[in-house]
Amino acid sequence: MYRMVRALFKQKKYTRRLAKRAAEREALQKLNHKVTDYFSVRKSDRRTEGEVQEERRRLLEFALRKGVEDGLEVRYIEGKGRGVFTTKHFHKGEFVVEYSGELIDINEAYRRGRNI
């Protein structure tokens, strides 16, 4: 019987200790504040480098599909033939044009030029 009483006493003591810890945790949660309690949340509209590069890639693909050639014109040069000239300033690394013709060496170009 003594053991049962002692076990019940220990159990009550243990549950009181748990209740006390729970009360302490609750009190701490009331004292702790989040930064957002004091400052409003503002979402940045800045984009990552990857997002900027992805946008540039999409714009480039769009220009290629639509055949956009802003800033370029083809002119005839006396004694030389046709050439592509820019009509605006391009920045370093900016897309200018995509060549989709046949690649030939200078000898082949001269040979074809004589046949014209």
Dihedrals φ, ψ of 11, to 5°?
-65, -40
**pTM (2 decimals)?**
0.36
Task: Give the model confidence (pLDDT) of 62-77 as tens digits.
Answer: 877 887 777 888 888 8
Strands 72-77 and 81-86: antiparallel
Higher pLDDT, 28 or 49: 49
Q: Please check whether residue 96 is in contact with residue 90, taking contact to mean a CB–CB distance below 8 angstroms.
A: yes
What is the torsional sign of CA 64, 65, 70, 76? positive
**Domain regions of the chain by residue span:** 2-37, 49-115
Q: Which residue has the higher pLDDT, 9 or 27?
A: 27
Residue found by looking up tokens 């802003």 in the block: 70
CATH class for domain 49-115? mainly beta
Over 60: is that where the pLDDT of 2 sits? no
Greater pLDDT, 30 or 12: 30
CA 116 – CA 107 distance, rounded (Å)? 15
Task: Give yes or no for residue 1 having a pLDDT over 70.
Answer: no
